[in-house]
A and B are shown apart, each in its own frame.
Chain A
Amino acid sequence: MGFVMSAQGFDQVISELQKEYRVFAPVCKKGAGRYTDTDVVMYDEITAAPEIDLVHKSDYSFKEFLNPLSETLFFFTEQEVKEADLNKKKVLIFLRSCDMHAVKRLDQIYLANGKEEDWFYRRRRDLVHFALIGCQSTFENCFCVDMKSNQMDDGYLFSVDCINGMYYSDVPENSIKGIFAAACETEQDVSPCFVTENKVHVTIPEDVPFEILKDSLWDEYSTRCIGCGRCNFACPTCTCYTMQDVFYTDNGKVGERRRVGASCMVDGYTNVAGGGQYRRSQGERMRFKVLHKIYDYRKRFGYDMCVGCGRCDDICPEYISYTNIINKVNAACEAAKQGAEEVKNG
């Protein structure tokens, strides 16, 4: 069942939901973009519906609530290790279909890789519910159709599409139907919009032969990539973190352990004590990242990590196209396969 609301009705729905949920949504920050006089769309806790940006693709992903850039895990005193507190109120996150597919990837790493669940992720995950933002048309650099993440059929409390000033919601969650019924203009069947065609296309190689890891195609990124890590921080599926202990300058006996977002593109990611380092060049790091997204993760878990949101391409200051890399890798894999067959056939 679905509902059609005016802006005022949608406003009313959000303020009703806020009694039970903290609401996180993409918010357009005026003038806070990476270049002079540009905006940035990033996630924040909102106070009212008009703050929600339903028009643009967010520059940074929804993951920041589940996987914060910096999260305090413990406080240390001389004798005690104490877990940091977390607000226990339920959380509602507005996100798009590709992002909902990304949630499965975050869950996979934090809850199902290895024997132990990540305690800190689990306690956040248990609070989180989703509101699906429909996509009426594709954005620049999206390739969700090729990654099969363009559509989401379940897992959300409600969806929202803003079309000509009216808000269309599909509400599978029974417990909140009353809130929508009270605020809507009409009740009718609604399906969230999703795109069936992107401008950008990728072909994911089925198999990546070992020799592709040593291919010269990676070399150009050693000079083009500056190792800033923005692609990782904007990516909805990147989960890496580094432990960081700090202590307070005014009381050296007390401190905390945090985890902070880590990037496999940034210097220091592989450094071991004593000076050892494993991928030194940006080309090697690019290979490590790209093959994880489109091959290594699939080898381990059976489906691709990348969801095709295109945020890495949107955000790269060197205009490196990740989708181009995927297609180059695919071409190299095809060539290697053909070469192998020619050798076999004499």
Chain B
Amino acid sequence: MMNAYIPFASEIMEVIRHTEKEYTFRMHFEGDVKPGQFFEVSVPKYGEAPISVSGIGPDYVDLTMRRVGRVTNEVFETYAGQSLLLRGPYGNGFDVDLYAGGETVVVAGGTGVSPVRGVIHALSAMPDAKDKYVIAGFKSPDDMLFREDLKTWAEKLNLILTVDGAPEGYEGNIGLVTQYIADLPLRGPSSAKAVVVGPPPMMRFTIIELQKKGFKDENITVSYERKMCCGLGKCGHCRVNDKYICLDGPVFNYTEGKLMMD
């Protein structure tokens, strides 16, 4: 029997720096993986951290990390020219085919953009990309992730880029992601689909706005972040009611997600 706890070494192919604290590590990986799935990134002697897949290529996965904990701090210190130990991918991930044909709105906040980056890529390549909307919010202009992608997305689909606050003279949108939902020029909100990922309060208020706009719960998809030590359904930390975020999620239809109470 395979020991699923043993990590494998993956070469760091490239490091893309977004902000002071947020880098994308392009890691060598060949195998099935979907946007929204995650890997356990392991730094021996410091521990493991679940990091969601922010990009997928023929021989790599992108892992966007924010330097906020013991493990990620260490990754940032020691990455140069090295490899990282990984386990995964874990979780269900997004089913991008759900969004082929029809109006779709993705609302993502901060590092919540990472797990849906692959979804947005797919949307921007769809023939009806003009029916796809992305509202991406960051704390400040300095905290923006995937700047190159943001430019591409702005050309191909309807991107609303916003920041919670900005220094004087900033010309872009300032405001929370929630305030743009009411004005989305949708033809049929009751059949439109939505994807919501971000910090818990942002998700809560975004869903309220979507419901007001006429979105049906069954057309809303959410992705939840929780503490995960194993990714295998054993350690228990990510359990909510009868669901294990690492096995049954992190992606849930909101009809299921709304009945999950921590």
A119 touches B235 (CB 8 A): no
Q: Does B104 contact A (CB under 8 A)?
A: no
Q: Which residues of B contact A73 (CB under 8 A)?
A: 5
Chain A at the B interface: SS class:
mixed
Q: How close is B245's CB to chain A, nearest CB, in angstroms?
A: 10
Which of chain B's residues have a CB closer than 8 A to the CB of A214? 261
Are B262 and A113 within 8 A (Cβ)? no
A118 partner, pick from B225, B234, B262, beta carbons under 8 A:
B234
- A341-B1 Cα distance, complex, nearest whole Å: 52
Instruction: Check A114 against B68 for contact (C-beta < 8 Å).
Output: no
Interface size on B, residues (CB 8 A): 43
In contact, B259 and A239 (Cβ under 8 angstroms): no
Check if B49 sits within 8 Å of A120, measured CB to CB: no
Bound CA–CA A113/B239 (angstroms): 12
Q: How large is the interface on A (under 10, 10 to 19, 20 to 34, 35 or more residues)?
A: 35 or more
For chain A, residues 74 to 97, give those with C-beta under 8 angstroms from any C-beta of chain B.
Answer: 74, 76, 81, 83
Say whether A245 contacts B45, CB under 8 Å. yes
Number of A-B contacts (CB under 8 A): 121
> Within A238-259, which residues are at the interface with B (CB < 8 Å)?
239-247, 252, 255, 257, 259
The segment out of A33-41, A267-275, A326-334 that lies at the interface is A267-275
A276 at interface by CB-CB < 8 Å: yes
Q: Give Cα A120 to B225, complex, Å.
A: 26
Chain A residues near B241 (CB-CB < 8 A): 291, 296, 299
B224-262 to A contact mask, C-beta < 8 Å, 1/0: 011101101111110101101011000000000001011
Is B72's CB within 8 Å of the partner chain A? yes
Apart from A241-B229, A273-B68, A273-B71: 20 A-B pairs, beta carbons within 8 A: A81-B85, A83-B6, A109-B236, A114-B246, A118-B234, A122-B1, A239-B236, A240-B235, A242-B229, A255-B44, A257-B47, A262-B235, A262-B237, A269-B237, A271-B227, A272-B225, A273-B72, A291-B241, A292-B239, A299-B241
Question: Chain A interface (Cβ within 8 Å of chain B)?
Answer: 73-74, 76, 81, 83, 109-110, 113-114, 116-122, 210, 213-214, 239-247, 252, 255, 257, 259, 262, 264, 269-276, 278-279, 284, 288, 291-292, 296-297, 299-300
